Amino acid sequence: MQFKLFFILLIVIPTISFAQKGQLKAIIIDAETNEPVVGASAALLSQSTKAYIRGQQTEAGGILKFDGIGPGTYALRITYVGLTNYMHENIVITSATTSIDLGILNMLTDGQQLKEVVVEGRVPGLRLDIDKKVFDASQSMVSVGGTASDLLANVPTLQVDMDGSVSLRGSSSVRILIDGKESAMAGSDINSLLQSLPANAIDKVELITNPSSKYDAEGQSGIINIILKKNVRTGLNGNVNVSGGSYHNYMAGASLNYRDRKFNYFGSYNFNRRNNVGSGKRDNFYLNNNSQINNTEESSRKGLSNTVKLGVDYYMDDKTTLSISSNLSLRDNNRTSELWYTYLNSPQFTGTSRRLSSQNEDDFGYDINFDFSRKLNEAGAELTANFSFGSDKEDGVNDFEQTYSDLYPVSSRINQTSEDGRNVNLQLDYLLPLGDNRKFESGYRSIIRNSFDTQFSDTLNVVDNVYLPDYSISNDFDMTSAVHALYINYQDKLTEKLGYQIGLRAEQANLNTTYFSKDPSVPENEIATDGKLDYFRVYPSVFLTYQIGEQEDKVQLSYTRRVQRPRGWQVNPFENVSDDMNRRQGNPNLMPEDIHSMELSYAKFYEKWNFISSAYYRRMNDVMQPYIYRVDEETSVTFSKWENLTNSNVAGLELISKINFTNWFDATWNGNISYNKFEGNPEYNIREQEGVNWDTNLTSNLKFTNTLSLQARADYFAPRIMAQGKSKYMTGIDVAVRKDIMNKKGSVMFSVRDLFDTRRFGADTFTPQVNSSFEHRWMKRMFTLSFSYRFGIQDLTKSKKNGDQMLGDDMGGEY
């Protein structure tokens, strides 16, 4: 009933404007060559606030035309590489009969100003907005030649652990999107996709720490939106790149884009051969018998991946755009590890043992996206829609073999696994500006996921030397989840300086699972075990923003309710036996986390210095974490399972600051400190834990000449408390040097990740049965040499004498 009422409310909100519309025309000319400028970017702005309303690009002949402009007073800003920005103000549209022709507008050559751009005009690595932070991937030299995981590890406020799991402000419960949607190519493991996706395929990364009701409610600490490169410049342009690194890591890729008046064609291909060489150790102390089992590990994660992106945009008219695009991913993973165990006072084993494990997986994924965009009659009003379908299929074989120094039988196991997943996304969004400071948004979204996972395990019978089925960990798992959502947002100003935004998102969520046993001795009526979650929740959001003075300085206070739903590996009861002494499994009855988040942000901007500070508080109910629920007294094997262990409170302060010391030296610093308290839970023998967590990083850029620059990044993560223990500190330094060549069309880069070979992740875990300490390094120090070359013609009608002005930047484009 609540859901129906919400839907009715959405429909009856007035969304029709009766305002009359007008037209604006002009012809843009290069004053020096007297030739039309094709592909210049034009922005229609509000005259009073200079707020962006609409954008266009000049067409053949330098023609610029805006249709469907509502009554009001506007400004027109035009920009083009190599030409001085042009601004035309006080353009008055009164009615539908108003048709203003500005005639010929001359743009001047960017003479002295162009020279200044060479020194000072570098795109900022991090743009600090009050509601989100936007990281420009092209500015991260230290991640060139690396993967998406390497790039994210160099984004302020983000951390990446040994399994590739990404954390925001210390929380790994973060929503990761690609181009605004959950990627179907990732299957049940987004980390695997990020570790294969080349960093050079990424345009920018958006960090939204307290999203409004417009966004998905999922994500304890917010949303990370990875935007892939897509160029929409006029003409033909592209980019090629190659790189090679230590441990036989290689990458190569190419991007190509062509746009004419009606169509924009784009495509890219990337090849990646990676080899992450790691090491680790774990010490388990068993309290019931005073025994100890230690192990050390050497590991290698090899992989071959091929990713392809193809698409086309069709500009039906000034207001309507249709797009179709597809992503394709083929991945081949080969992971090996060698563990050496030492047994002290163990009731079952003595001496040492050696365990070899290998995991080979073939993964094929794709998605197809259909997008529709329509600018409506009201200035700035827009209707957008998306339908996407994706599939991911993975087949793998895991082999384990363990031999002992004493006369114990060899232990060997072969697991065959398969994952088959489907994703469907349906989305409709409507935006209606109601004046300079007011707007209304509403929309609908459905995300439907289905996956079928299977595992069959055989163990070696040492008597007959044959493999026999192990039905205890052989099973099938079927999972279907669906989230249907409606949202509304309204934004307005109470005074000239005080604004607000209120929103409401209603979501109906379902998670249905079925566990199938493969054991032939199980009665037929017990083969299938069902699990079901079905709940409706409303997620409000409130934002208050106060502008300080006449500058861009702002203070914002916000509250949102969010949710963290269980992921596939957290609900899948398959037992992970890659480390036979420490077994892990999911829990199909795991409940989602309920999160209440508040944030107070302040942004300050100076000419050469800016910073943003955020004080935040999160209340998490039903926190999901792995729980060691049993230790076998005879074998000392530990068994852990995901559970809703406790509730948690986090209060923190985050600071980000960038200083341009000179035209050739700048630095960006990020620091985050938080107080975390886990409440006790007698049911799981969880004691109340509290502590202070903090981390910091510093990125600096040094420009020696116009073509030679250096970037260095250092980070430190202090020990962090967990529900059953505490993580260890981690630190490292990355360095890169870049040389532009071939008249800045090409560049050569040399980088070193983890310069002093110090980055290790570790933790100490304490339970009533066992105390555990481990460290792991997932990648050793790596050297990489990269080359990239950019080519392009921005204007097919221009003569070649202006070729330098027709060259684009890295494939990033305009959105």
Place of tokens 């980070």: 715
Of 159 and 793, the structure prediction assigns the larger pLDDT to 159
Per-residue pLDDT band at 8 (split at 50, 70, 90): very low
Per-residue pLDDT band at 126 (split at 50, 70, 90): low
- pLDDT tens digits, one per residue of 356-382: 999 999 999 999 999 999 988 766 788
Least confident piece of the model among 218-222, 449-453, 548-552: 548-552
252: pLDDT strictly greater than 90: yes
SS3 state of residue 724:
coil
Tell me what pLDDT residue 35 has: 82
Structure token pair of residue 546: 């106060």
- pLDDT tens digits, one per residue of 562-595: 998 887 778 888 777 767 778 888 888 888 999 9
233: pLDDT strictly greater than 60: no
For residue 101, what are the β-bridge partners? 25
Question: Distance between CA 39 and CA 57 in Å, rounded?
Answer: 5
Question: Distance between CA 593 and CA 644 in Å, rounded?
Answer: 8
For the chain, the structural domain boundaries read 2-120, 126-228, 235-806
- The one-letter amino acid code at 73 reads T
Name the helix (H) or strand (E) containing 546: strand 528-547
Least confident piece of the model among 127-136, 485-494, 647-656, 733-742: 127-136
300: pLDDT strictly greater than 80: yes
- pLDDT tens digits, one per residue of 748-761: 999 999 999 998 88
16: pLDDT strictly greater than 60: no
For residue 370, what are the β-bridge partners? 324, 387
Structure token pair of residue 477: 């798992």
Which alpha helices (DSSP H) does 309-461 contain, by range?
A: none
Question: Distance between CA 391 and CA 166 in Å, rounded?
Answer: 23
Name the helix (H) or strand (E) containing 769: none
Cα torsion angle, 16, 17, 21, 25, sign? negative
The answer to whether the CB of 360 falls within 8 A of the CB of 396 is yes
Of 155 and 715, the structure prediction assigns the larger pLDDT to 715
SS3 state of residue 726:
strand
129: pLDDT strictly greater than 60: no
Alpha-carbon distance values, 469 to 355, 409, 414, 455, 458 (Å): 20, 18, 9, 11, 4
- φ, ψ of residue 447 in degrees (nearest 5): -125, 120
Question: In sequence order, what DSSP letters do the residues of 427-467 get, joined into one string?
Answer: EEEEEEE-SSS-EEEEEEEEEEEEEEEEEEEEEEETTTTEE
The answer to whether the CB of 333 falls within 8 A of the CB of 303 is yes
Tell me what pLDDT residue 570 has: 85
- pLDDT tens digits, one per residue of 470-509: 998 898 999 999 999 999 999 998 998 899 999 999 999 9
For residue 30, what are the β-bridge partners? 35, 107
Alpha-carbon distance values, 353 to 132, 282, 339, 414 (Å): 51, 14, 8, 19
Strand order of the β-sheet with 175-178 is 126-128, 133-136, 202-208, 223-228, 175-178
- The one-letter amino acid code at 145 reads G
Q: To the nearest 10°, report the CA torsion of 153, 693, 780, 303.
A: -50
User: What's the CATH architecture for 2-120?
Assistant: Sandwich (2.60)
Per cent of the chain over pLDDT 90 is 40
Of 153 and 716, the structure prediction assigns the larger pLDDT to 716
Per-residue pLDDT band at 803 (split at 50, 70, 90): very low
Residue partners of 271: CB distance under 8 A and separation at least 6: 250, 251, 252, 253, 304, 305, 306
Tell me what pLDDT residue 793 has: 54
Q: Which range has the top average pLDDT, 45-49, 126-130, 334-338, 685-689?
A: 334-338
Least confident piece of the model among 11-20, 90-99, 291-300, 422-431: 11-20
Of 810 and 19, the structure prediction assigns the larger pLDDT to 19
Closest CA to 113 of 152, 86, 140: 86
Whole-number average pLDDT of the chain? 83
Tell me what pLDDT residue 583 has: 85
Tell me what pLDDT residue 187 has: 55
What CATH code would you report for 126-228? 2.170.130.10
Structure token pair of residue 738: 């870049």
Give me the count of residues in the chain: 815
332: pLDDT strictly greater than 90: yes
Closest CA to 591 of 533, 649, 678, 515: 533
Class of domain 235-806: mainly beta
Of 356 and 162, the structure prediction assigns the larger pLDDT to 356
Residue partners of 472: CB distance under 8 A and separation at least 6: 519, 575
Question: Distance between CA 116 and CA 673 in Å, rounded?
Answer: 38
The answer to whether the CB of 668 falls within 8 A of the CB of 658 is yes
Q: How many CB atoms lie within 10 A of CB 789?
A: 15
Mean pLDDT on 523-530: 90
Least confident piece of the model among 11-25, 43-57, 156-170, 695-709: 11-25
Mean pLDDT on 3-30: 57
Please count the CA atoms within 13 angstroms of the CA of 538 that sit on its side-chain side. Answer: 11
Place of tokens 């509730």: 647
- pLDDT tens digits, one per residue of 408-425: 889 899 999 999 999 999
- pLDDT tens digits, one per residue of 634-670: 778 888 999 998 999 999 999 988 898 988 998 989 9
Tell me what pLDDT residue 794 has: 41
Per-residue pLDDT band at 231 (split at 50, 70, 90): low
Alpha-carbon distance values, 673 to 171, 509, 651, 733, 763 (Å): 13, 34, 9, 20, 19
Place of tokens 């938080």: 674
Question: Where does residue 337 rank: exposed (0-12), middle (13-18), buried (19+ CB within 10 A)?
Answer: buried
- The model carries a pTM of 0.73
Tell me what pLDDT residue 6 has: 45
Per-residue pLDDT band at 732 (split at 50, 70, 90): very high
Least confident piece of the model among 63-67, 258-262, 443-447: 258-262
The answer for 203, left when phi > 0, alpha when psi is -120 to 50, beta otherwise, is: alpha
Question: Distance between CA 149 and CA 139 in Å, rounded?
Answer: 16
Structure token pair of residue 570: 């957290």
